[in-house]
Amino acid sequence: MDLGLGGQRALVTASSKGIGRACASALIGEGARVYISARGAPELVTAAREIGAAGWSAADVSKEGDPESLVEAAATKLGGLDILVVNAGGPPVGVFQSLPVESWHSAFYLTLMSAVRLMRASIPHLKQSDQGRVVIITSISVRQPIPGLTLSNSLRAAVTGLAKSLSMELAPDRITVNCIAPDAILSDSLRRLGDVGEMEKRAPMKRLGDPEEVGAACAFLCSRQAGYITGQTLGIDGGSLHGVH
């Protein structure tokens, strides 16, 4: 199936590895020109060369000014912007009673405000596109809170509410805004959370998800065929969400 992504111009953040890299790679595989970004310059340069990114620059999306500069760098390099994929590393683990107030501040800027700033800076460019797309990587925690991840449970839910609101606001411009809510996708960040073998045993499919499976879903949501899908959260969790939705 031709997804209509040939020549489309995309910015994907936190894309030197894991889910972000898989999303960027999937878009490139469909013919899009993709600008990637992450905090670590050496890993970013390696990833860019390996997947064939059209451009790249290091940025910390939790810092004021970095998201805006990143969007302008991408739009300048690509000659505009059709697609924004918002991705950021998860906030620190911890339960409410043990988390210092300062951790809420840093998580707020990393998880919520990075999305706000990236989207505010990108919207003027997306309005010039005839296939404007925003895809935000969140987590299963927006539907099923994860024990010990209070910051993620709280702030990713806020991002989801923002995405739903923005989807209605941008609908007249035919810009779609959707979220992907993965669970237990095999990555370095997941390995840091615990025993991968035990996670596999608990998973309904007895395996963990592959980042490329998330990347494929991202490419579809950015496609021409997905032009009437907006304001949605697509779960990629192998059946681990227990509730009906």
State how many domains the chain has: 1
Instruction: Report pLDDT for 89.
Output: 84
Q: Is residue 92 part of a domain?
A: yes
Mean predicted confidence (pLDDT) in 85-96: 92
> Starting at the edge strand that comes first in sequence, how are the strands of the sheet with 33-38 ordered?
55-58, 33-38, 9-12, 83-86, 133-137, 176-182, 233-236
Is 243 inside any structural domain? Answer: no
Please tell me the pTM assigned to this model: 0.95
Contact 27, 219 (CB under 8 A): yes
Q: Is residue 183 part of a domain?
A: yes
4-57 pLDDT tens trace: 999 999 999 999 999 999 999 999 999 999 999 999 889 999 999 999 999 999
For residue 227, the model assigns a pLDDT of: 98
Query: pLDDT tier at 61 (50, 70, 90 boundaries)?
Result: very high
| Confidence (pLDDT) at 208 | 86
Taking the C-alpha atoms of residue 126 and residue 131, their distance in angstroms, rounded to an integer, is 8
Structural domain boundaries, residue 224: 9-233
**pLDDT for res 127:** 98
User: For residue 194, what is the domain's CATH number?
Assistant: 3.40.50.720
